[in-house]
Each structure stands twice: as C-alpha cells, then as structure tokens.
C-alpha cells in the first residue's frame, strides 16, 4: 500500500499540473460517472493529502476524496502533446480544458473515490492521527495515545488513528534506526524516544516526497560506502531491514528476522533491536533469584 509520502507527492504533482485551470472530468469505467458530470468543466483549485488520503479540490468547495488502497494508482501526465484513449479500468480521468500545456491524470484501482464537501473532508481528516508531513500535526495527541497503550510500538505506528501515513517500510526502518524492538509496549517509551522517532519520520518521509523513494540507510551504510551490491527490490531505495529476511544486518551482521503482527510482516534485527526488559521486570527477576520473591 502506498505510504504517506506517495500521497503527498501525488498531491503536489496534481497541483502543479492542474491548479487554477479548468478541467474535463470523466469516468471511463463508469463508477464515478454521476459525480464526474457534476464536476466537468470546473476549475481545479489544488490537491492536498492527509496520511494515506488524497483530496482534490474543485471550485465550489467540492473535493474528490481518494484512497488508493493496496493496488490503486493515480498517474499524472503533464505537458503532453495529446491525450491518449483510456487504457484499463480508469475510474477517474482529469484533462486540462483551457489554453496552456496539456495535462491529464488517470486513477485506477482505488478503494475509494468519492465526491464530498468540506464537512466530509474534515470528518475524514479528524479520524486520522498525526501526519509527519503536515504542519498541523497534533504530535502531543499521538504521544498521549502511545504513552498510554500496552500495544507494541510496531502496531501503534501502523495505526492510522495514531500516526497517519506510516506504512510497513517506514515502520520497520524507523524502529531499526532507533534500536527499538517492534513489540516493545508503547507505554514503556520515554517521551524523548518518541520525539526522536517522530522527528526522524518527518525527515525521512519528507525526503521520500522529494525523491519518490524510501531511502533510510545512513551515509556510512550505503552500497558505495560499504562496497556492497545495491538493493534489488520493486520498492526501490536503500533500507536496513524491510524485506531483508535472513540477510545480514548492515550494522552487525545478524540475520534479519521477520514475524507477522496484525496481519502485516515485521522486520527487525534481534541484536540491534533487543527485546525490551523493563526495570520493574528486571528487579522482580533479581528478587526471585535472591530468594526474596
């Protein structure tokens, strides 16, 4: 499933290609046909994202609310000589309809494509947690949720009502970068640890918006610095543990481990990310060993 940086980059691309311009709106597949007729010929004001949700705004405070799901894609083509016939199941097509460079965009495979007003947009956003790519992110609320939860931090990072936009890749990588085991209960994290995780997500996901890739390894662990082969994976980018099951950790050489948590694969290094042991648990263990427990 596309992670938050993909939606932010898509919103930027749509804004750059269409903002301020009148557009033809259609639904070659037919599933958005009635809504497309209402929007056809309107000026596209811009696009924005929140977590893994996209909002394309057209004049009259109307928003196309899109969630790509697992297989969805929204391809934006700017400054083209001509617009080709739709190929495949195109649920939504946008085409510039005024003088200037021609652009078009095709949406396929999305799990959601709805026409909503400001209240619908605001309701969708209100259900989301803090987005590392948004300036209005409520970081304090995310910390309150995490610091009170017995759930593993690896689970909490993927809960879109806690932190929005983080997917399996960023989850695995940011936890590795901070040497935190994915099953460590959220309530055992210190505020400084959470803030470091958050700040790192802001930087990593922001770089993902700029590059279109997820690159998480530090300079000293790049293929060039280590003299190793670059990653060969359909996700692209250099990572520490994601989809590297059984391969040696780039830092310590320990084989990367994997397990399933809430239906998604976890990836971690058992040496760099040791199992969490609380002080209370440790004290109780020592007491039993000393015969006082």
CA distance 164 to 209: 15
- Residue 163 pLDDT > 80: yes
When pLDDT is averaged across residues 278-292 and rounded to a whole number, the result is: 41
Which residue out of 3, 45, 57, 173 is catalytically annotated? 3
pTM of the model: 0.91
% the chain with pLDDT above 70: 95
Q: Helix and strand tally (H, E) in the chain?
A: 9, 10
When pLDDT is averaged across residues 190-194 and rounded to a whole number, the result is: 98
pLDDT at residue number 278: 73
Contacts of 15 (CB under 8 A, 6+ apart): 46, 47
CA distance 268 to 35: 45
CA distance 232 to 168: 18
Kindly indicate the confidence band of residue 279, based on its pLDDT and cuts at 50, 70 and 90.
low
Query: What fold does the segment set 4-126 form as a domain?
Result: N-terminal domain of MutM-like DNA repair proteins (3.20.190)
- Residue 253 pLDDT > 70: yes
90 closest CA partner among 70, 103, 69, 74: 74
Which residue out of 9, 28, 45, 52 is catalytically annotated? 52
Which residue out of 21, 187, 264, 271 is catalytically annotated? 264
Contacts of 171 (CB under 8 A, 6+ apart): 154, 157, 158, 182
Which residue out of 2, 28, 132, 182 is catalytically annotated? 2
When pLDDT is averaged across residues 98-121 and rounded to a whole number, the result is: 97
CA distance 112 to 52: 11
**Residue spans per domain, the chain:** 4-126, 139-279
Q: Look at domain 139-279 and name its CATH class.
A: mainly alpha
Least confident of 139-153, 162-176, 223-237, 252-266: 223-237
- Residue 221 pLDDT > 90: yes
141 is catalytic: no
219 is catalytic: no
264 is catalytic: yes
């Amino acid at each position: 499933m596309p992670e938050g940086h993909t939606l932010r980059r898509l919103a930027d691309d749509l804004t750059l290609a269409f903002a301020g311009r009148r557009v033809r709106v259609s639904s070659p597949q037919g599933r958005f046909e009635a809504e497309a007729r209402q929007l056809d010929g309107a000026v596209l004001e811009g696009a924005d994202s929140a977590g893994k949700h996209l909002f394309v705004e057209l004049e009259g405070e109307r928003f196309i609310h899109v969630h790509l799901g697992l297989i969805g894609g929204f391809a934006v083509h700017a400054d083209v000589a001509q617009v080709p016939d739709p190929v495949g199941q195109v649920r939504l097509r946008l085409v510039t309809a005024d003088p200037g460079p021609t652009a078009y965009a095709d949406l396929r495979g999305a799990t959601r494509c709805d026409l909503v007003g400001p209240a619908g947009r605001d309701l969708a956003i209100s259900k989301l947690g803090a987005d590392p790519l948004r300036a209005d992110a409520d970081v304090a609320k995310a910390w309150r949720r995490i610091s009170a939860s017995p759930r593993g931090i690896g689970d909490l990072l993927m809960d879109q009502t806690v932190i929005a936009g983080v997917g399996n890749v960023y989850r695995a990588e940011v936890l590795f970068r901070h040497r935190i085991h994915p099953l460590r209960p959220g309530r055992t994290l210190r505020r400084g640890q959470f803030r470091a995780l958050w700040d790192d997500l802001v930087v990593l996901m922001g770089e993902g918006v700029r590059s279109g890739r997820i690159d998480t390894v530090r300079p000293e662990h790049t293929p060039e610095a280590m003299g190793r082969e670059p990653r060969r994976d359909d996700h692209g980018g250099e990572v520490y543990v994601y989809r590297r099951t059984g391969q040696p950790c780039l830092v310590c050489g320990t084989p990367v481990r994997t397990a399933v948590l809430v239906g998604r694969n976890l990836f971690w290094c058992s040496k760099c990310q040791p199992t969490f042991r609380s002080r209370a648990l440790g004290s109780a263990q020592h007491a039993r060993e000393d015969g006082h427990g």
